[in-house]
Structure 1
Amino acid sequence: MKFVIKHEIRGRLHVHLIQKRMTFEEADTLQYYLSTNKYITSVKVYQRTCDVAVTYVGGRAEIIKAFQRFAYSKVDVPDVFIQNSGRELNQEYWDKLVNKVVLRCGSKLFLPYPVRAVAATIKSVRYIWEGIKCLAHGKIEVPVLDGTAIGVSIFRGDFDTAGSVMFLLGIGEILEEWTHKKSVGDLARSMSLNIGKVWLVSDGQEVLVPAENIQAGDKVVVHMGNVIPFDGIVSSGEAMVNQASLTGESLPVRKAEQASVYAGTVVEEGGLTIQVKQVNGSSKFEKIVTMIEESEKLKSSLESKAEHLADRLVPYTLGGTALTYLFTRNVTKALSVLMVDFSCALKLAMPISVLSAIREASVYDITVKGGKYLEAMAEADTIVFDKTGTLTKAQPTVVDVVSFNGKTPDELLRIAACLEEHFPHSMAKAVVDAARKKNLVHEEMHSKVQYIVAHGISTTINDKKAVIGSYHFVFEDEKCIIPAGMEQRFEELPSEYSHLYLAIEGVLEAVICIEDPLREEAAAVVNSLKCAGISKVVMMTGDSERTASAIAKRVGVDEYYSEVLPEDKASFIEKEKKAGRKVVMIGDGINDSPALSAADVGIAISDGAELAREIADVTVGADNLYEIVTLKAISNGLMKRIHKNYRTIVGFNSGLIVLGVAGVLAPTTSAMLHNTSTLLISLKSMENVLS
Structure 2
Amino acid sequence: MKFYIKHETRGRLRIHLAQKRMSYGQADTLLYYLENLDGVVSAKVYERTCDAVVNYRGSRAAVIRGISEFHYQDVEVPSQVLQSSGRALNAEYQEKLIFKVICHYGRRLFLPYPLNAIYTTATSLKYIWKGIDTLLHRKIEVPVLDATAIGVSVLRQDFGTAGSIMFLLGIGEILEEWTHKKSVGDLARTMSLNVGRVWLKREDQEILVESGEVQPGDEVVVRMGNVIPFDGSVTDGEAMVNQASLTGESVPVCKKEGSVAYAGTVVEEGEITIRVKTVGGSSRYDKIVTMIEESEKLKSSLEGKAEHLADKLVPYTLGGTALTYLLTRNANKALAILMVDFSCALKLAMPISVLSAIREAGTHKATVKGGKYLEAMAEADTIVFDKTGTLTKAKPTVVDVVPFDNNDPEEMLRIAACLEEHFPHSMAKAVVSAARKKHLAHEEMHSKVEYVVAHGISTTIEDHKAVIGSYHFVFEDEKCLIPEDGQEKFDNIPEEYSHLYLAIDGRLAAVICIEDPLREEAKASVEALRGAGISKIVMMTGDSERTAAAIARRVGVDEYYSEVLPEDKANFIEKEKAAGRKVIMVGDGINDSPALSAANVGIAISDGAEIAREIADITVGADDLQELVVLKEISNALMKRIRRNYRFIITFNAGLIACGVAGILQPTSSALLHNTSTLAISLKSMQNLLP
Letter in 1 for 2:651: G
1:636 aligned residue:
636
Question: CA separation in 2, counterparts of 1:220 and 1:230?
Answer: 9
1:221 aligned residue:
221
Kindly report which structure 2 residues correspond to 1:336-375, keeping only aligned pairs within 5 A, or say none. Answer: 336-375=336-375
Question: CA separation in 2, counterparts of 1:661 and 1:270?
Answer: 70
Letter in 1 for 2:217: G
Give the drift of 1:584. Answer: 0.6
* Deviation larger for 63-72 or 448-457: 63-72
Deviations 1:380-399 (A, max 9, x none): 01101111111111111212
1:563 aligned residue:
563
Deviations 1:141-193 (A, max 9, x none): 00000000000001111111000000000000000000000111111111111
Give the drift of 1:296. Answer: 0.9
2:424 aligned residue:
424
Letter in 2 for 1:552: A
Structure 2 residue matching 1:591: 3-state secondary structure: helix
Question: CA separation in 1, counterparts of 2:165 and 2:654?
Answer: 18
Question: CA separation in 2, counterparts of 1:426 and 1:65?
Answer: 34
Question: CA separation in 2, counterparts of 1:661 and 1:607?
Answer: 61
Letter in 1 for 2:496: E
Question: CA separation in 2, counterparts of 1:432 and 1:48?
Answer: 46
Cα distance change on mapping 1:296 and 1:544 into 2, 3 Å: same
Cα distance change on mapping 1:77 and 1:382 into 2, 3 Å: same
Identify unmatched segments of 5+ residues in structure 2. none
Structure 1 residue matching 2:239: 3-state secondary structure: strand
1:242 aligned residue:
242
2:304 aligned residue:
304
Structure 1 residue matching 2:533: 3-state secondary structure: coil
Deviations 1:197-226 (A, max 9, x none): 111123422111111111111111111100
Question: CA separation in 2, counterparts of 1:63 and 1:524?
Answer: 31
Question: CA separation in 1, counterparts of 2:542 and 2:529?
Answer: 24
Q: State the identity as a percent.
A: 73
Question: CA separation in 1, counterparts of 2:168 and 2:19?
Answer: 38
Cα distance change on mapping 1:6 and 1:545 into 2, 3 Å: closer
Letter in 2 for 1:351: P
Residue 379 (str. 1) matches residue 372 (str. 2): no
Letter in 2 for 1:489: K
Question: CA separation in 2, counterparts of 1:238 and 1:254?
Answer: 7
Letter in 1 for 2:625: L
* Deviation larger for 512-521 or 482-491: 482-491
Letter in 2 for 1:582: K
Would you say how many aligned residue pairs link Structure 1 and Structure 2? 691
Give the drift of 1:244. Answer: 1.3
1:604 aligned residue:
604
Deviations 1:627-682 (A, max 9, x none): 11011000000000000000000010000000000000000000000000000000
1:328 aligned residue:
328
Structure 2 residue matching 1:297: 3-state secondary structure: coil
Letter in 1 for 2:248: G
Give the drift of 1:559. Answer: 0.7
Give the drift of 1:8. Answer: 6.0
Give the drift of 1:105. Answer: 1.1
2:476 aligned residue:
476
* Deviation larger for 380-389 or 487-496: 487-496
Structure 1 residue matching 2:690: 3-state secondary structure: coil
Structure 2 residue matching 1:398: 3-state secondary structure: strand
2:684 aligned residue:
684
Letter in 2 for 1:602: G
1:511 aligned residue:
511
User: For the aligned residues, what is the CA RMSD?
Assistant: 1.7
Deviations 1:289-337 (A, max 9, x none): 1111111111100010000010001011111111111111100000000
* Deviation larger for 656-665 or 272-281: 272-281
Letter in 2 for 1:666: Q
Give the drift of 1:107. Answer: 0.7
Deviations 1:58-80 (A, max 9, x none): 77776666665544333332222
The answer (yes or no) to whether the contact 2:38–2:63 under 8 Å persists in 1 is no
Kindly report which structure 2 residues correspond to 1:188-199, keeping only aligned pairs within 5 A, or say none. Answer: 188-199=188-199
Question: CA separation in 1, counterparts of 2:405 and 2:628?
Answer: 45
Give the drift of 1:114. Answer: 1.1
Give the drift of 1:472. Answer: 1.0
Question: CA separation in 2, counterparts of 1:427 and 1:5?
Answer: 45
Cα distance change on mapping 1:35 and 1:512 into 2, 3 Å: closer
Cα distance change on mapping 1:5 and 1:434 into 2, 3 Å: closer
Deviations 1:328-364 (A, max 9, x none): 1100000000000110000000000011101110111
Cα distance change on mapping 1:624 and 1:256 into 2, 3 Å: same
Give the drift of 1:14. Answer: 4.8
Give the drift of 1:489. Answer: 2.2
Question: CA separation in 2, counterparts of 1:577 and 1:41?
Answer: 39
Deviations 1:426-479 (A, max 9, x none): 111111111111111111111010100011101111112111111111111111
Kindly report which structure 2 residues correspond to 1:430-449, keeping only aligned pairs within 5 A, or say none. Answer: 430-449=430-449
Kindly report which structure 2 residues correspond to 1:550-629, keeping only aligned pairs within 5 A, or say none. Answer: 550-629=550-629
Structure 2 residue matching 1:298: 3-state secondary structure: coil
Cα distance change on mapping 1:616 and 1:61 into 2, 3 Å: closer
The answer (yes or no) to whether the contact 2:7–2:14 under 8 Å persists in 1 is yes
Question: CA separation in 1, counterparts of 2:678 and 2:174?
Answer: 13
Identify unmatched segments of 5+ residues in structure 1. none
2:253 aligned residue:
253
Question: CA separation in 2, counterparts of 1:315 and 1:92?
Answer: 37
Structure 2 residue matching 1:229: 3-state secondary structure: coil
Kindly report which structure 2 residues correspond to 1:165-184, keeping only aligned pairs within 5 A, or say none. Answer: 165-184=165-184
Question: CA separation in 2, counterparts of 1:57 and 1:524?
Answer: 23
Question: CA separation in 1, counterparts of 2:404 and 2:539?
Answer: 33
2:293 aligned residue:
293
Structure 1 residue matching 2:271: 3-state secondary structure: strand
Structure 2 residue matching 1:585: 3-state secondary structure: strand
The answer (yes or no) to whether the contact 2:206–2:444 under 8 Å persists in 1 is yes
Residue 485 (str. 1) matches residue 485 (str. 2): yes
Letter in 1 for 2:124: S
Residue 547 (str. 1) matches residue 547 (str. 2): yes
Residue 650 (str. 1) matches residue 626 (str. 2): no
